[in-house]
Chains A and B, each alone.
Chain A
Amino acid sequence: MENILEAVIKSFHYGEDLILKDLKMSVKKGEIIVLTGLSGCGKTTLLRLLNGLIPSFYDGDLDGEIKILGKDITTYKKGELAKYIGNVFQNPKDQFFCDVVEDEIALVGENLGLDRDTLKEKVEKAMDLLGINHISKKSIFKLSGGERQKVAIAGTLIYDTDIIFFDEPSSSLDYDSIKHFSEILLRLKAMGKTIIIAEHRLYYLKEIFSRLIYIKDGTICDVFPNGSLSNNKCKELELRTLNERELISEKEPIAAKSYIKVNKACIHQGKRTLIEDLTFELGESEIMGVIGSNGIGKSTLAKALCGLSEKYLDVSYGNKQRERLRNSYCVLQDVDAQIFLDTVENELIFCKDKNSESDLEKIREYLKDTNLWHKKTNHPQKLSGGQKQRLAIITSFLSGRKLIILDEPTSGLDYKSMKIMSDLTTEKAKEIPIIIITHDLELLFKTCHSVLMLGDNGYKKISVKGNEALIMDFMDKKGNLLKEENYVK
């Protein structure tokens, strides 16, 4: 079988920085290739070279050659690559140009001159394949994460593109949506598409990928055909787990005295009640995970607990909104909206009105532990996504509040960064309890003592240790687990 894609990269520089070197890869038609490695290894740059965004959008100096369908990528006319390549970016919402679903899907066909009748037919077919006909006229602002992903993928099917690139597709998806996404990947594979995915999360790709390419320090370190990569090898390479079912909790159940109490809290979104009569307690050093499917109310719960919503809640650290705002701190999913000052160090210094020498020493320690020391005088908004997440989290640790809530703190983070976050969180939890809302089972098992499972028919709080299988079954939605247990409605 001929190669659909070939890359021979002697070197690639962004300015003076060498990003890639001595890299050779080829992809056959119909393969699913996973590019993985730690943050900063060069996989995103490689993806951009392969999909033509370097040099169309990004600058850089390439010494090498990229071939798509046997032809040098630089010989394609402007815009012509769209006939052969589709792209799904990390944050589908930001990549939508139109405001209505079917218009967005049709965009590539319009740009490439497909006649209207053919275009309408193709749009209909693409929506059929992905099961999104019912949202064809919906505004893109009203879509869920999974729906956005499907719309982005549908856009790549209009021109029957041969190759589809995905840049960290699971980072904006919940557990259930990731499962649906892997089913879509299998369907695309069956259609003969060649798929290249840059990704940290590997478990959902275990049965799907043809080859996994491990990149380190700008070059291909190892290539693993499907079946040859073990979980132990993943650990050795500091990659995310390949098999989540093998994960076990690293935290013993905690038996600390009650520090935070939430009593019969009702959480609303508009006029809808999402969660009713929620009651739980947190021990002084407890780290509690919160899990549940998309739309169940996890983030809404986080906002209510930290005082952004619900005028009155019966919680021990403040019934009124103002009290909850004063006594708790929530790191929201989009950390960009919580970064305000002109330097990284000022973000941390201004957590308090006055800093003692020990406070400043703590700030220095946090910056060094999170690899942000060399960026301390940079503008925080210019940091990478992972760096901003780390900054937002250590800001919360320095806030001096009684309760910290982290909403999806490790989405898009590699194993090493996740581990850093886990260690810092464990350290901080010695002082105050922490709630972590997450789909990241590795983080949950590594960091949390207990977990609050929010289901359609109730909720339950259990220890993580000893209940790993139950938790995973709950995430997989295998049966109405909460009904069988002694749940509270």
Chain B
Amino acid sequence: MSYKGEKNNINSYQLSDKINPLTIVGLILLFSVVLTVGGEYQYWIALAFASGLLLLFSLRKTLSTILTLAIIWGILYLLKPYLGSVFVGSIYTLLLIIIKFSPIFILGRALSSYSSSHLIAAFRKIGIDGGIGIGITVFFRFIPEISIRMKEINDGMKIRGFKASIFKPIKTFELYFVPLMYKCIDISDTLTCSIISKGIEYDGKKTSFHEVKITFIDIAMMIGGMILLGASLWKIF
């Protein structure tokens, strides 16, 4: 499959065909321990690894992530001289914690590059199906929908002459979220009818359009992650 690129509004997840989503899930688990107990070198290796992996999926996402991290680092350097102030110090610490866990967030971003169907196929292989599987599919299906709906509601409010106000929080909440929640009810009913009619309740083995297998690349990545974990734990013991 050739790489078509996001500018054609086509999801460019072709490389995900080669990397098993469960590998990324595994790396998230490993890195969460590495980042908690590991040292400086382990952190930078984890960050470089995660960024490199994201680059395989999307240049745009990698660049935006690096830019975000660079901005946060810049803010940290600017705030450092003022650590005496409690307020500044607390913002500083929070940003540092975001930086600390950024390799995991980057891996999460890489995971979101897969289509929901591909993720379900992977989770089904390890026995995660049913409500959780539907939940994950709906998550990816519905996340873009939320911003579209909120924009439509915003347009509707402008036309009606209703204004959001921080001094009227309950009214503002009612204006935005009541139409959104009714839309949720409608969409969930239609979605359910649709998947019922597509045989989701069929009591037979489910197959997958996407091939989910362990390749040499997956094994190599997991070994790399475990070596990093080993190096982090070595220092403790």
Least Cβ–Cβ distance between A402 and chain B, in angstroms: 14
Does A487 sit within 8 A of B, measured CB to CB?
no
Chain A 57-80 per-residue mask, 1 if CB under 8 angstroms from chain B, else 0: 100000000000000000001111
Complex Cα gap A155–B117 (Å):
15
B144, B149, B189, B202: the one within 8 Å of A111 (CB): B202
B203 at the binding interface (Cβ < 8 Å): yes
Q: Which residues does chain B contribute within 8 Å of A336, judged by CB atoms?
A: 179, 182-183, 186
- Chain A interface residue count, CB cutoff 8 Å, equals 64
**Contact partner of B9 among A107, A111, A142, A307, CB < 8 A?**
A142
A337 to B201, CA, bound (A): 33
- Interface contact A78-B179, CB-CB below 8 Å: no
| Interface status of B123 (Cβ within 8 A of chain A) | no
Name B200's contact: one of A79, A100, A339 (CB within 8 Å).
Answer: A79
| Contact B202 A94, beta carbon cutoff 8 Å | no
Q: CB within 8 A of A338: which of B118, B159, B191, B195?
A: B159
| In the bound complex, CA of A306 to CA of B157 (Å) | 13
Contact B137 A338 (CB under 8 A): no
Q: Indicate whether A108 reaches chain B with its CB closer than 8 angstroms.
A: yes
A338 and B160 within 8 A (CB): yes
- Among A53, A95, A135, find the residue whose CB has the most chain B CB atoms closer than 10 A: A95
Q: Tell me the residues in window 89-120 of chain B with beta carbons closer than 8 Å to chain A beta carbons.
A: 115-118
The B-contacting residues of A in range 336-375, CB under 8 angstroms, are 336-340
Contacts A106-B209, A116-B209, A137-B10 hold; do A56 and B179 have CB atoms under 8 A apart? no
Mask: chain A, 110-128; 1 = CB below 8 Å from B; 0 = not: 1111111001100100000
A200: CB under 8 A from chain B?
Answer: no
CB neighbors of B among A116-154 (8 A): 116, 119-120, 123, 135, 137-139, 141-142
Q: Are A96 and B197 in contact (CB under 8 A)?
A: no
Q: Is A218 an interface residue (CB 8 A)?
A: no
In the complex formed, the residue of A with least CB distance to B144 is A141
Tell me the bound Cα distance from A119 to B208 in angstroms: 9
B226 close to chain A: CB less than 8 A = no
Q: Once the chains are docked, how many angstroms separate the CA of A439 from the CA of B115?
A: 35
Point out the residue from A52, A56, A308, A381 that lies within 8 Å of B159, measured CB to CB.
Answer: A308
Contacts of B13 in A (CB 8 A): 137
Looking at chain B's contact residues, is the secondary structure mostly helix, strand, loop, or mixed?
Answer: helix
Asked if A308 meets B155 with Cβ closer than 8 Å, knowing A95-B191, A98-B137, A103-B116, the reply is yes
A450 at the interface (CB under 8 A from B): no
| Min C-beta distance of A250 to chain B, whole Å | 29
Counting CB contacts under 8 A, is A279 at the interface?
no
Distance A53 CA – B192 CA, assembled complex (angstroms)? 10
CA distance A113 to B203 in the complex (A): 10
Q: Is the CB of B115 within 8 A of A109?
A: no
Seed contacts A82-B197, A119-B207; 8 additional CB < 8 Å A-B pairs: A79-B199, A96-B194, A97-B191, A97-B195, A103-B115, A113-B205, A116-B211, A137-B10
Cross-chain pairs A/B with CB under 8 angstroms, 14 sampled: A56-B201, A89-B193, A98-B117, A100-B115, A107-B117, A113-B206, A116-B211, A137-B10, A336-B182, A337-B156, A337-B179, A339-B179, A340-B160, A381-B179
Binding site for A on B (CB under 8 A): 4, 9-13, 115-118, 137, 140-141, 144-145, 148-149, 152-153, 155-162, 174-175, 178-179, 182-183, 186-187, 189-211
Top 4 nearest A-B pairs by Cβ distance? A79-B202, A82-B199, A103-B117, A95-B194
